[in-house]
Structure 1
């Protein structure tokens, strides 16, 4: 049992909570407490249906990337290039998204293809070149950001078609399209990680790469697939972002890699690999979204919000270290 009750001699009941319970449900409890606090402090604005849908719409872009980052971090790696891949994929895609030029699926395919190629490049450098993920993706981050600035002379691309903008700003039966896209990616990510051989291999590599190799797992192929998947999801986030703001800019996605990594770590995925869940990542994404939204409603400066997020990330890592000790 994770929770035990003991009755003392004076009649009082003492509840003992084990560390296993905290490691399993700590982030969920923290999220519910945060949600309750924000609801108490700003009930007339925070708890409205419109604001809740706004939170979901806001977290969907980071959430899509966070699903891919979950796979990456479970393998024991990281990807610092996701924000730059988002920017490059979106700005190229938007050049094909002007009204009356191409069908809407053309810019989508272009973006996903660019994301896949950049992710594939990361995977090959890491798997075949034996370069540390931090260094490899740092290089790709710089390359992709430079290509974004070179494309279209550093100018933003706007005048996008109505069909393309619908991806970011439209809704279906009252549910924003970005939220629907996020939910679909969550379901696919959960299925891949929990119901396929690929998912089992991802966990195995993160747990012990040497043992995985001895067991006959094609470790290099899994690394390449994981980072390619990360690239595709980064590009998909770029499509949703550019469609939402109805433009593509060279600074799009700046800092998004930190938000994605933070959400995954807060959600309980181990930084050393081998442990993590899609459900945990969803809770991490929602926690970040509720925190940002609540602090905005409270009038807290974005500078202070960054400080708060930083402390939360450090706390999550320290908790992960404690649970493994």
Structure 2
């Protein structure tokens, strides 16, 4: 029996139909935006939206893993800014240093995730408090090092990674595709993925069947932090500058995107594909706000509204 069939087994029809609501909402938003702005469906505009969404979607992939594990990570945005500062610390202008910078960022991000996971799985700290504390610590370290303004240089190749194209496809979207395929397989097609879902659905039951739920939880937070670190570098390339607030707001946006995409905040349910679709929905909503000429505060109202609607829809389908 396939993983998809296993997930649908015993799920009421209403719960199954809900899986089609997310792509349907995405299609509806695309149609709405194209009506409001006739040039919305131009190749150039769609490329711009995809490039805008890719860094957030990479963060969302990691956030989805920890939410499936009944957690959340509030430190992702602070980590994105911190790895951007770390990248400038090399003060490198040669593109040959890009692999070195990526390696350093992945190692540093994995260490952050390891600490988050250890605090939560081994010391019993709540995910909210552990990752909130990490967010503050990273912010303090970042400001201590930069004294308020990063001053190092980045290789020009980062601009290509964040805003360049290969055969008409944005490079950061290709990176998103690789992350989506890799983490999608890990979560939905491997033994580790099944253990993640079992642990998220019922940690006590996971322990009883011999799954080391603490190790699975730590792994989940490492994955989340590594995804955030990688996203931070691509976001720097996209915006073209480094400051102490790169990725600001992504901690909330990534959680909202997961909820919109059907990831259950109670753990154990959801798909990576749905979460990434939620990221595209969120960015499309923001674009529609701009098209309509509404104030930026309307984005916050939309975020709150989408959380309420998505959470209510999940709660109803779970009771069905």
Per the TM alignment, residue 152 of structure 1 is displaced from its structure 2 partner at its CA by 2.2
**1:203-260 residue CA offsets vs partner (Å, 9 max, x unmatched):** 0011111100000001111111110111111110111111222322111122111000
Aligned match of 1:201? 195
Per the TM alignment, residue 320 of structure 1 is displaced from its structure 2 partner at its CA by 1.2
Of 69, 84, 97, which residue of structure 2 is paired with 1:90? 84
Q: What's the C-alpha RMSD, in Å, of the aligned pairs?
A: 1.6
Of 212, 215, 234, which residue of structure 2 is paired with 1:218? 212
Larger Rg over CA atoms: 1
Aligned match of 1:38? 33
Of 287, 294, 299, which residue of structure 1 is paired with 2:288? 294
Aligned match of 1:26? 21
Q: Is 1:182 aligned to 2:204, yes or no? A: no
Residue segments in structure 2 that go unaligned for 5+ positions in a row: 1-11
Per the TM alignment, residue 18 of structure 1 is displaced from its structure 2 partner at its CA by 5.5
Of 142, 163, 180, which residue of structure 1 is paired with 2:136? 142
**4+ long deviations beyond 6 Å:** none
Aligned match of 2:318? 324
Per the TM alignment, residue 307 of structure 1 is displaced from its structure 2 partner at its CA by 0.7
**1:36-90 residue CA offsets vs partner (Å, 9 max, x unmatched):** 11111212x2111111111110110110010011110111111111001111111
Superposition pairs for residues 256-295 of structure 1, below 5 Å? 256-295=250-289
Residue segments in structure 1 that go unaligned for 5+ positions in a row: 1-16
Aligned match of 2:166? 172
Q: Write the distance in 1 (CA, Å) between the matches of 2:111 and 2:191.
A: 24
Aligned match of 2:51? 57
Per the TM alignment, residue 96 of structure 1 is displaced from its structure 2 partner at its CA by 1.7
Aligned match of 2:115? 121
- Measured at CA, do residues 101 and 168 of structure 1 come closer, stay the same or move farther in structure 2, by a change above 3 Å? closer
- TM-score normalised by L of structure 2: 0.92
Per the TM alignment, residue 21 of structure 1 is displaced from its structure 2 partner at its CA by 4.6
- TM-score normalised by L of structure 1: 0.91
